[in-house]
Chains A and B, each alone.
Chain A
């Protein structure tokens, strides 16, 4: 069982997360074309390519700094609504690791909870509005319910929660963002931002499962 992940591993993990988003650009594009304007995939790719670059070049010393660095790169390079909310997800969530030398089960749950609150506040949304929050919130609950120090189990619970959240967004009506004018026509399609969260947490789970 692994109960701690230090910043060196964390850097490698977020490189894999970035690569997973970059590899899924077409999935995100098609999901966004269905209910939005189709730029989510290329925006996320731009942001995570910038994140990858800085993770490879910058001398990062703490877990908090890893997440914060990724968030700043995304905020600055992604653009659109996605840049702010995904930047906020990483930058605000990073505060859960301040003064902690490693990721543990408990502070990772806190990371998801803090990130959820910050994204919801920035976007002016709650759960149920067909947004990325509908993937973060169930991921946080699921990770908390796992109630273990085993990081691989916590990450796996978070990823499962996010995936279930994506499924649930299909039945939701969008009330924010460019998709809101679709109204009931948005039913049946998953939210692209929620899919991105599920890809991010899924890549973290894969990384942790190999430790």
Chain B
């Protein structure tokens, strides 16, 4: 039995509650917590805008609740560690962000999230509030393209939130925002690798067992099974395996413009991530695929899991525009960028 990991905590049952309080304070007044709820909303929400509500299980910080702000999510419903938020949390968060023009629900494709968000959507529709739902299902590991509805949502969430947040700020109808969201969702693909497990604070146990010399290619964001459990190999070999699967899935082709995101699952060093980035860029260059924007950092974690995930999104001019809108949040900030 593995020993309980060291974590800097108080009462393990209060981790989500205390984390949310800390998160709100870290946003310097740009977000507030709904009283008594595990939900946060922007304090600077304009009137008459299409609302974007994001959310999911906690423990993956900074996603989702770290991505609330201008040109990002308008609010986030937070669940317990790795567990979807409850219908009433989502319902209250949705009511708080609604500005009369409908709400887009954007979240990762998991049974728990689907059921809870659908339940909340039914309650909102009874109140006469229009809700559309786009689920991120970008993980190519576990299921073939024809079963994409079964795929999990992983770090594609990050680019999706950035783009949908911009679209919800600028476009005037829910239908238009949904159109952009679906286009982005159809063009994003991801896969990860785990080299060691993360643990849930309240149980003190790793979510899965992995031998010291083993890695799991394609592992999900909660330790769900991937495509292969294998012996540890080099950074280049791992990057090759992941990129082969991602590139052939969409497929990404010569002359495509893409956004590339390399995400730290929690305990991997920036040094390792940059070494992986080097190899990925070699592969993309060989395929003549143009990287429009690169993101290397920590956006979706699985507690102290070590490993990384790679996300590619094929971009057109519209997606580039929303991706580049300035944003400020603790999870992702974006300056005005230009390629001039």
Contact = CB atoms under 8 A, between A and B. Distances in A.
Interface string B133-148: 0000000011100000
A46 B85 CA distance: 13
B305 to A, nearest CB: 11
B79 A79 contact: yes
A181 B200 contact: no
B142 A39 contact: no
B295 interface: no
A81 interface: yes
B50 interface: no
B86 A75 contact: yes
Interface residues on A, range: 20 to 34
Interface string A122-160: 110000000000000000000000000000000000000
Instruction: Tell me whether chain A's interface is mostly helix, strand or loop, or mixed.
Output: helix
A6 interface: no
A185 interface: yes
B156 interface: no
Contacts of A188: none
B208 interface: yes
Nearest to A185: B225
Contacts of B85: 79
B224 A80 contact: no
Nearest to A81: B112
A179 to B, nearest CB: 8
Interface string A97-140: 00000000000000000000000001100000000000000000
A29 B226 CA distance: 21
B86 A76 contact: yes
B86 A77 contact: yes
A78 interface: yes
Contacts of A83: 83-84, 86, 112, 116
A39 B81 contact: yes
Contacts of A75: 86-88
B84 A178 contact: no
Interface of B: 57, 79-88, 110-112, 115-116, 119, 141-143, 150, 152, 200, 202-203, 205, 207-208, 220, 222-226
